[in-house]
Amino acid sequence: MSAETVGAEMPTHVTLDDLAAMAAADENHRYELSPQGGLSVMPPADPDHALLVSRMFAWFITHGYGPEQVVTDCGIDVGGGRVPDLTVWAKGLPPRPARSSYAGTKGLLLAVEIVFPGSEVVDRITKKVEYAKAGIPRYWLVERDGGNTVFRHALNPDTGGYDLVDGGAQPLAWLLRTMPDVS
């Protein structure tokens, strides 16, 4: 399909419902929408990315978090539509649709992003700001460096931004030997 064909069929203003329809029609890409209306189209996760998500998912599950609390690739409404790699929800408050098929943030305790090649700035800066503005209590960023360094952030109610927790940076292998703390 040519760029002209795609462009001619694109709506002039992409809504979360449009975004959900695009994602449903194309299993080979991930679609996200910034609160300002910027559309991002990314390839699917590579095996290394998928394994990192899987390891973190298993860690939460083996430490007592239920499958309704730990969710992968769940679209959330943060004024736009974002799809964190992993989300952790309060017990009894699983993800529920908000303005569209994207989940609202009620009960959302943690959003985890694994830095994806090509989306480094969005993962490290843009989403961090959007998630803080949406009031998500914790944001973890996993770098794809030699140690898969995890930067853990907690929302500071005084500033409305995120602060690093416990120095903030630990290798994923170290983190996975501890008890999850997202309270």
pLDDT reported for residue 4: 56
pLDDT reported for residue 6: 54
SS3 3: helix
Q: What value does the mean pLDDT take over residues 144-173?
A: 93
Helix (H) or strand (E) holding 108: strand 108-114
CA–CA separation, 106 and 136 (whole Å)? 9
Quote the tokens at residue 116.
């994806």
Q: What value does the mean pLDDT take over residues 145-167?
A: 93
Sign, CA dihedral 95-175-182-109, equals negative
Q: Mean pLDDT over all residues of the chain?
A: 89
Q: What value does the mean pLDDT take over residues 53-75?
A: 96
The residue ranges of every structural domain in the chain are: 45-175
Q: What value does the mean pLDDT take over residues 83-92?
A: 96
Of 138 and 30, more confident: 138
Helix (H) or strand (E) holding 55: helix 47-62
Q: Are 78 and 139 in contact (CB under 8 A)?
A: no
pLDDT reported for residue 101: 84
What would the CATH number be for the domain defined by 45-175?
Answer: 3.90.1570.10
91 pLDDT above the threshold of 90: yes
Q: Which residue pairs from 40-47 have beta carbons closer than 8 angstroms and sit at least 24 positions apart in sequence?
A: 40/119, 40/122, 42/116, 42/118, 42/119, 45/85, 45/116
- What is the model's pTM? 0.88
CA–CA separation, 145 and 103 (whole Å)? 31
Chain segment 11-60, per-residue pLDDT in tens? 677 888 888 888 888 888 888 888 888 888 888 888 999 999 999 999 99
Q: Are 123 and 94 in contact (CB under 8 A)?
A: no
